[in-house]
Structure 1
Amino acid sequence: MLDAILGPSPAVAPALLAGAWKTGGEQVERVGPYVRRVVSRAVAADDDMVRTAVRYAHDGARQAMAATSPAARAEVLERAAAAANRHRDALARLIALELGKPLKDGGGEIDRVADTFAICAAEARRIGGDVLPVAGWARGVGNTALTYRAPAGVALAITPFNAPANLLAHKLGASFAAGNTTVVKAPPQAPAVSAAVVALLLEAGAPAEAVQLLHGGGAVGAALCAAPEVAVVSFTGSVETGAAVARAAGAKRLVLELGGNAATIVCADADVAQAAAVCARTGYTNSGQSCISVQRVYVHRSRFDEFAAAFGKEVAALKVGDPLDPATDVGSMVDEEAAARVAGWAAEAGAAGATIALGGTRDGATLAPTIVLDPPPGAAVVTREVFGALVAVLPFDDFDAVLAACNGSRYGLQAGLFTQDIGRIVAAWRELEVGGLIVNGSSNFRLDHVPFGGVKDSGFGRESPAHMIEDYTVVKTLLLRGLSIWGTRP
């Protein structure tokens, strides 16, 4: 099936249901935002497919997946990692067609898919348990207690459009490593990419019961969340949709990685040229459509003009255009509506007194990389999640005050800090209300084996394979009364 998915455009985006790929039924077309033609057709899920998926997943979780050894799961994941590397170019091309993401970014995403599957394989080999120190308390003397991490059962993975391959690899890879069955609800904007990642795992030897794939919108996601057969829901997306997921799921385990409004601070002692280059590169990757993309850059007033000039030069040098051109740095956004929204926010900031130093225009879904200098603190480009090819640059005078400004956001995912002052680094790590701080780098940096997640409206839980396996497993305790590995003498 992988060859069919990666074949001629329009790509086929089948559902995977009860161990079989399904290509018939109602079709939903995806129009590529840059090429402006149909690039894939997905099989739309209905109520019967949802019911079949959760029943089959529930049966398969116990009868097949939980019975597989961690070593067997690891070997499958390692083969899937190798397959991702083999199909790198075709997968990157499919991402470019469905989402307008440049080939260089899509290729980098597939590199991360391979890494993520390999990391999940390593974590599968480490799943174990504990011998508990029960004999340390008088009532525990003469007994032995052990634990191990058992599969949770059925995990639901609801993935976003902006990094559809790697974020699915995280959820699916960790769930498979834990020994679960996974039901995947793909993003409507990237159905074929999602199907291809699922196919990578199956063609690497995963059991048919390991994964199912459904396509559809919010109604399909809500029905899956509410299904009693589902034990864990892992969702990445907007705050508003995350709240709806939580309501629909009810009393289930939830891992929610939601929005961001990432800030990067450039102090007076920073290497301004380096900071400008890094912020330019990471502020417009994937047209800024990342929850940790550089959105707010706070620059010490003594270096503000210098930074603004260097940053403008770096951004102006980015090549904007065809995502299928290997030289392109910035392609299109996910659709015209998204591009129009960001352009509108830039115009609002300009009308309120900000300087639009670059960009602010669009061609369809392609937004020219936009720089907004010194917008008002209440402007949408400062307070809301832009999720687009726009960076706001603001001056600051006092370090404590800029930390407070960063914390004024409802979001708290990740931040960047450029400084050589260890005192500032420790203060920022302590005081910033974020899940991660990147020093001498922008907010937009992630290693797939390092804990990643936020606080406040940016969600809860951590998305690295080791931490995700904790969410996808349950601790089971064995207490042996009258049998002790410990000393029993009073």
Structure 2
Amino acid sequence: MATEIMGGRMLLAGEWIERTEQINVYNPENNEIIGSIPAGKAEDMNDAITLAQEGKEIAENLSIRERMDILNKAATYIEDNLEDFARTIALEGSKTINEARSETKRAAETIRISAEEARRLTGESINFDQMPGNTDRMGYYFRFPVGIIAAITPFNDPLNLIAHKIGPGIAAGNAVIIKPATETPLSALKMAEAFMYAGLPHKILSVITGRARDIGDVLIESKEVNMISFTGGMETGEKIAKKAGLKKLSMELGSNSPAIVLNDADLHEAAVSTTSGAFAAAGQNCLSVQRIYVEEDVYESFKELFLKEVKEVKTGSKLSESTEMGPVINEKEAERIEKWVKEATEAGALILSGGTRKGAHYDPTVLENVPESATLVKEEIFGPVVLLFKVKNLHEAIKRSNDVNYGLQAGIFTANVNAALKASKKLRVGGVMINDSSDFRIDAMPFGGIKGSGLGREGVEYTIKEMSEERIIAFKILDEDE
């Protein structure tokens, strides 16, 4: 089945172009072709970079009002075409139609927040006379754009993660070159369509599609690119950092997120919240709950409630209004998940629910008694699998939560303020969610992690700061009578 989604074209500096060689885009649910994209080559990316050098000057010279108007008009376009955007997300990716609608709304909101934050792109005065001998000086700083931003995005949030890079990038006055995931490029092209409709001047934006091996290094290594904003896996992030050279880096590299359930928690609420946190988007979320540490006194009670919730998760066709979880992104990923689970069970883990695969579908899966040495414990599963662990107390839960090379977000369920404060201080993560699972996020908050989870912070206000620089202006006041 073919879609009517700009198949066969990509955006080069504001111009829609075609290429003879195409890459098919598949629906992971049934492996049907739903569209195609140009197989961009090195020369296409070089052209995008060359034209972006002109585009960054155009972008910087847009007034704040012009940037705000373009961003708001793009957001309105997304809202007015919500079903079209949502269907695109659902067809090319793993999200159900309801999850895709939610992502579309969030993407529009992210763009609107970018418009609002553009007006707050301000500096402040500096008291130079705080240093002896400088009573005749005064000044301030203001923020200016970094120039050309390379935005490299994954498949799991193919529209809103684009919004988190293009919205702040334009708000700060930059040119942006997007390299979307090959599995889910159509949503990125839909976003580009919104900005072209909104009147974004040519040369500011490019969306270059193609295989990473053909165009990735050209973008990453270019000396003309001033910043790389990457969302993806830790291994790829490390490779990019080594190749990038002297340029700004912002990286969100995933996680292996823990949730802690204490004796005094509302167990039903904890079960509902962690079920959603583990299996939304088929677990393909950097914030997904992967490890749940439960105090031993309530372990069996929580497990019973949790398994009941998990077994009620409705799987099926992504476009069905009743489906709550669809497939993972492709059969290869489903096979990897299956392999990791098998490795754990062979080492003594027990499957409490799920553990079966059909094509790219992998059932919501819960394990216990998983050895600490298992890949499932140490690495990011990025799939619908969650592990249950019994712990003696909060101290043990925190220690084991921290015992991985990730630190994006964590959740803790408790009625004890002191316990919540202790966890907030001791958990080595970028965010702690109290009485919520690790996957809570709003698009205006600072978002990012430590250790292998990345560099810098996203969230519109914070991304705009990352995508701009401070410039100091100092006046020496001359005494005209001298």
- Cα deviation code 1:140-177 (max 9, x no counterpart): 21111221101111111001110010011000000000
Partner of 1:417: 412
Give the alignment partner of residue 309 of structure 2, picking from 294, 299, 314: 314
Give the alignment partner of residue 208 of structure 1, picking from 185, 199, 202: 202
Matched, 1:397 2:392: yes
Contact preservation (8 Å) 1:231, 1:252: yes
CA distance in 1, matches of 2:311, 2:335: 21
- Cα deviation code 1:422-474 (max 9, x no counterpart): 11111111111100000000001101000000000001110011111111111
- Cα deviation code 1:182-223 (max 9, x no counterpart): 000111011111100121122112111221110123231221
Partner of 2:69: 75
The alignment partner of 1:138 has SS state of coil
Give the alignment partner of residue 342 of structure 2, picking from 340, 347, 351: 347
Q: 1:483 to 1:107 in 2, by over 3 A?
A: farther
Report deviation, 1:13. 5.0
Aligned length, in residue pairs: 477
Report deviation, 1:23. 2.2
Give the alignment partner of residue 259 of structure 1, picking from 229, 238, 254: 254
Give the alignment partner of residue 267 of structure 2, picking from 258, 268, 272: 272
Give the alignment partner of residue 277 of structure 2, picking from 282, 285, 294: 282
Contact preservation (8 Å) 1:13, 1:195: no
Contact preservation (8 Å) 1:263, 1:295: yes
Q: 1:468 to 1:483 in 2, by over 3 A?
A: farther
How large is the Cα RMSD of the aligned pairs? 1.3
The alignment partner of 1:475 has SS state of strand
Matched, 1:155 2:145: no
TM-score calculated relative to the size of structure 2: 0.97
The alignment partner of 1:273 has SS state of helix
Report deviation, 1:19. 2.6
Q: 1:121 to 1:324 in 2, by over 3 A?
A: same
Contact preservation (8 Å) 1:35, 1:97: no
Contact preservation (8 Å) 1:143, 1:483: no
Contact preservation (8 Å) 1:256, 1:460: yes
Please give the residue correspondences for 1:370-385 in structure 2 after superposition, counting only pairs within 5 Å: 370-385=365-380
CA distance in 2, matches of 1:222, 1:239: 17
CA distance in 1, matches of 2:160, 2:252: 14
- Cα deviation code 1:347-395 (max 9, x no counterpart): 2222222221111111100101111123122222211110001111111
Q: Detail structure 1 runs of 4+ shifted over 4 Å in the superposition.
A: none
Matched, 1:194 2:195: no
Q: Percentage identity across aligned positions?
A: 34
Partner of 1:444: 439
Give the alignment partner of residue 168 of structure 2, picking from 162, 170, 174: 174
CA distance in 2, matches of 1:211, 1:54: 10
The alignment partner of 2:37 has SS state of strand
CA distance in 2, matches of 1:75, 1:19: 18
Partner of 1:3: none
Contact preservation (8 Å) 2:94, 2:156: no
- Cα deviation code 1:98-129 (max 9, x no counterpart): 11310111111111101100110110011111
Partner of 1:228: 223
What amino acid is the match of 2:140? L
CA distance in 2, matches of 1:144, 1:419: 51
CA distance in 1, matches of 2:367, 2:89: 29
CA distance in 2, matches of 1:329, 1:285: 8
What amino acid is the match of 1:27? Q
Partner of 2:28: 33
CA distance in 1, matches of 2:5, 2:163: 23
CA distance in 2, matches of 1:24, 1:460: 35
Q: 1:10 to 1:447 in 2, by over 3 A?
A: closer
Partner of 1:51: 46
Matched, 1:164 2:158: yes
User: Runs of 5+ in structure 2 lacking a partner?
Assistant: none
Matched, 1:327 2:322: yes
What amino acid is the match of 1:70? I
CA distance in 1, matches of 2:259, 2:289: 7
Contact preservation (8 Å) 1:10, 1:38: no
CA distance in 1, matches of 2:383, 2:317: 17
The alignment partner of 2:208 has SS state of strand
